Amino acid sequence: MDTIRIGTRKSKLALWQAEYVAEKLQNGGLKTELVLMETKGDMVLDVSIAKIGSKGVFTEELEEKLANGEIDIAVHSAKDMQSSLAEGFDLIAFSEREEVNDVIVSDREIDLSKEIVLGTSSTRRIATLKHFYPNVRTVEVRGNLQTRIQKMRDGLCDGLLLAFAGVHRMGYHEMIKKTLSLDEFTPAVGQGSVAIESHVSVSEEKRSKVRELINHPETEKRLLAERAFLKKLEGGCSIPVFALAHNQGENIKIDGGIVSLDGQTRIVRSLEGPDPEEIGVMLAEQLLAAGGDHILSDIKKQLKK
């Protein structure tokens, strides 16, 4: 089999993910080559993700190279993947998921009952803070983890609100001051897993071998439910929806919800069943019927302003 060409963003975290995938493929006897590139989300750092337009902000350039055959697979954080892929593209594997919690990183102790400033660019995290901790202010902070930490140390904020997985992978575990509860800070869809994207033009032999060596079936089942939920809600990075699925024997249990941008209204529902994608869609429908449709409509209007 030819070398597997792996497309990745250039950030340290993206490279960690790509090298993690490459190592697994090499251990399975495959040759690999990393192809590095920048995406719109990497280059435009002075504008929030919501204003850039969340669809494919970290994936579009990688998908172009997949489609024209320059790379065989693209490695993404699963939480960065839009809920609907263009025709010809699919996610062929999900790596084993690690801890899914949001965490607060800082050089000082953090007390959420005090009036502090946290840096984040996530609408989900901002809206959740407004709901549970209205005394906490937020400031927009983008760029790679190292850049964000430097901005914090330069006085922009007291701490950073981030995903545990990225902090852990970059070796900043000792800076975690708080691990936030999953009940309050239910994560973004796919958080903690690495997704492998491919195009139908890549040989079935390559695709099936990559899937065999990378895919973690239990994680895939969970993410299929979460992504079906997100797709039904037409959610992206700029919509504060959240979901977390768990394997319950033969069943999947999924908790999911939506919170208004001002944090005033938060709707959460749970559902359990045998078919991951069916249960994800059903949960989204329940959420919409419970008032989520109005929140979603308001959010989309506000984001267009």
Q: Which positions are catalytic? A: 80
Neighbouring CB atoms inside 10 A of 41's CB total 21
What b/e readout covers 215-237, taking b as 16+ CB neighbours within 10 angstroms? bbeebbbbbbbbbbbbbbbebbb
What's the token pair of residue 261? 């941008």
Taking the CA atoms of 226, 228, 229 and 233 in sequence, report the sign of the dihedral they define.
positive
3-state secondary structure of 232: helix
Spatial separation of the C-alpha atoms in residues 258 and 260, rounded to whole Å: 7
- Please give the full DSSP string across 72-138, using - where no structure is assigned: SEEEEEGGGS-SSPPTTEEEEEEPPP----EEEE-SS---TTS--EEE---HHHHHHHHHH-TT-EE
Give the containing element (helix H, strand E) for 50: helix 49-52
Neighbouring CB atoms inside 10 A of 99's CB total 14
Spatial separation of the C-alpha atoms in residues 47 and 240, rounded to whole Å: 18
Q: How many CA atoms lie within 13 A of 84 on its CB side?
A: 7
Kindly list the distances between the CA atom of residue 282 and the CA atoms of 33, 167, 222, 287, in Å, as whole numbers in the listed order.
41, 33, 15, 9
Spatial separation of the C-alpha atoms in residues 142 and 98, rounded to whole Å: 23
CA neighbor of 221 nearest in space, from 274, 163, 281 = 274
